[in-house]
Amino acid sequence: MITQADLVDCLSLAVAAFPQYPLTQAQVVAYYELLKDLDISKEDLYLAIKESIQTSRFFPTVADIRERAIKKVSNQPPQFNHLELENPKAVPMPEHLRGILGWLYIDKEKGLDALLEENNGQVAPDS
């Protein structure tokens, strides 16, 4: 099982590869909630995210990460998602929609490590 800190470490590669998509606290929480049930190692998660980055023009989705991670564990080759090639124009989420939920952007100066340190190893503060 992966931890939230493992997920943040692995997603940092995607953040570096896609600087136009700032990673928010809410996104990390959502990704963790939707991936934490997978019985995979941190290494398999990292490799799934890396493969997604190498084969897609978009930030890795939960569905893509899940599919690739499950196939890593079961030793099956991942299927390439051809839908992304059919729509070459990616539309980023408008800033006014990001602010509706009050998402906290990770400060690029401080980075992900500072956010983890501020919240005792969790991306989201304990509720």
pLDDT tens digit at each of 127 positions of the chain: 899 999 999 999 999 999 998 889 999 999 999 999 998 999 999 999 999 999 999 999 999 999 999 888 887 555 555 544 555 555 555 555 444 444 445 555 666 666 667 666 655 544 4
Cα within 13 Å of Cα(64), Cβ side: 22
Question: What is residue 60's DSSP assignment?
Answer: P
What whole-number distance in Å separates Cα of residue 116 and Cα of residue 97? 25
Burial of 84 (0-12, 13-18, 19+ CB in 10 A): middle
How is the chain split into domains, by residue range? 4-116
H/E run at residue 14 = helix 4-17
Confidence at residue 104, expressed as pLDDT on a 0 to 100 scale: 47
Confidence at residue 88, expressed as pLDDT on a 0 to 100 scale: 54
Confidence at residue 126, expressed as pLDDT on a 0 to 100 scale: 47
**CA nearest neighbour of 112 among 1, 6, 10, 12:** 12
